[in-house]
Structure 1
């Protein structure tokens, strides 16, 4: 099971690679469970400050949920389907969305169904110019169950999202960038270098401030502006007594680079 996701660590950056290229990195139940375990490990290690998530092989980031794996749960009836398939997938995308360290999706190929939902859930995404995105669940006779009907409209707007959801038609990487599904598109051979360069920028910041930004945005998106401002203020209050905020301000005054320790 460990081979379903590869973990490599380079300094403060952990790279997770979905490693089922023979299935276009389809996400089966064991992959979901293993990804949770690895995220727990990364969260507990203070030396790790950013995550890159990508897929093995040249064809796919992820083709989505493994149909052969989840079909038995669906055919067992609504109660089993909700417990084993829907809630498991929603827990994963919610975990990715709320993770306190920045996750960068390096989308190296097609990202369909659940693979697109993973891209929607993580805070940042860079796509290869070969990448394509689709909400393919409609062609299997169901609506996206891993959060796609909720996150995609919030990211790209209701009408654009419904066009993808109701047709299942793919879009290319540049269209995904233009509508806000990914941050950047780079030549395929430069994808991992671009993801590592972005991760390096993030790991140079205060990990406490990064976590505060992630929490404020993720929580605030679904709140009124007044409630969101209260979340923002509470995150600042948590930072106000830290060494990192003192270091950042002092370094600015002294005209030197700040060195953040996460304390």
Structure 2
């Protein structure tokens, strides 16, 4: 049975079942990401981070659409000075999702465009419907991606592919998304959420501190040079030897072979 999160947000909620937290966007019709939605995403990410009963997270927009972009109508009358004031809100929502120190999977149905694509990019893994559509069409509005699209997309698919997608504003169909690494797996549309939950559920009994450390090593390492990344890894590797899970994992391996340890997240 699902346990709802403690927040009382209007458009974004966190529901927890068996160690898996679902951050659910629900702003009909297209899950447009407004300033309010951005604030609610930050709150949901903070709650998912803090709750010990959440071991992994699914980001989901429902059966019809993931998120078709930021709220263009809301942006229509904003001046440069307005956007300078609120632009941090645009990027901080996706950054909050990216920095959840647990495995995060985006369950992508329908359109993941603009801010919706950027939200999917903030996940560690993307499972998409075989009829899903990705894209960064901001240039067609005379602007550019502002919630991490120019940075996370280039890191994920390479700068040349990212530039083509961003410069043209074209749609990327599911098969191309899979081929270039923008999506990690395609399933029939009606199976997307269940497949994402299954991926997340495998971490419900995992060594949470080790996964947290591994995620930080990969993410922080990508931001710096190799030697610095190796030093981040060295420090995190050594730190694992202060955890109870390391004692449990190695003892179990020695006594019973691999894959039989019971972890407690400490």
TM-score normalised by structure 1 residue count: 0.94
1:82 corresponds to which residue?
84
Q: Aligned runs of 1:166-185 on 2, under 5 Å?
A: 166-185=167-186
**Larger CA deviation: 1-10 vs 133-142:** 1-10
2:50 corresponds to which residue?
44
Distance 2:211 2:170 in 1: 35
Distance 2:231 2:147 in 1: 29
8 Å CA contact 1:105–1:124 kept in 2: the answer is yes
Distance 2:201 2:226 in 1: 32
Distance 1:165 1:137 in 2: 8
**Structure with a larger share of its residues in helix:** 1
**Larger CA deviation: 124-133 vs 33-42:** 33-42
Distance 1:192 1:87 in 2: 30
Deviation at 1:146, TM superposition (A): 1.0
Distance 1:82 1:120 in 2: 23
2:69 corresponds to which residue?
64
Q: Deviations over 1:149-194 (max 9, x none)?
A: 1111111111111111011111111211111112111111111121
Secondary structure of the structure 2 residue equivalent to 1:21: coil
Distance 1:149 1:82 in 2: 18
Deviation at 1:126, TM superposition (A): 0.6
Q: Deviations over 1:21-40 (max 9, x none)?
A: 31x11101111111111221
Q: Deviations over 1:112-166 (max 9, x none)?
A: 0011111112111110112100111011001111111111111111111111101
1:131 aligns with 2:136: no
Deviation at 1:57, TM superposition (A): 4.2
8 Å CA contact 2:14–2:48 kept in 1: the answer is no
1:29 corresponds to which residue?
35
TM-score normalised by structure 2 residue count: 0.93
Distance 2:205 2:176 in 1: 31
Deviation at 1:53, TM superposition (A): 0.5
Question: Which runs of 5 or more residues in structure 1 are unaligned?
Answer: none
8 Å CA contact 2:41–2:97 kept in 1: the answer is no
Q: Deviations over 1:188-221 (max 9, x none)?
A: 1111121111111122321101101110011000
2:4 corresponds to which residue?
none
Deviation at 1:237, TM superposition (A): 2.0
Secondary structure of the structure 2 residue equivalent to 1:190: helix
Distance 1:205 1:262 in 2: 8
CA RMSD of aligned residues (A): 1.4
1:260 corresponds to which residue?
263
Question: Which runs of 5 or more residues in structure 2 are unaligned?
Answer: 1-7
1:19 aligns with 2:32: no
Secondary structure of the structure 2 residue equivalent to 1:61: coil
2:141 corresponds to which residue?
140
Secondary structure of the structure 1 residue equivalent to 2:13: strand
Distance 1:119 1:19 in 2: 15
Distance 1:71 1:213 in 2: 41
Aligned pair count? 257
2:112 corresponds to which residue?
111
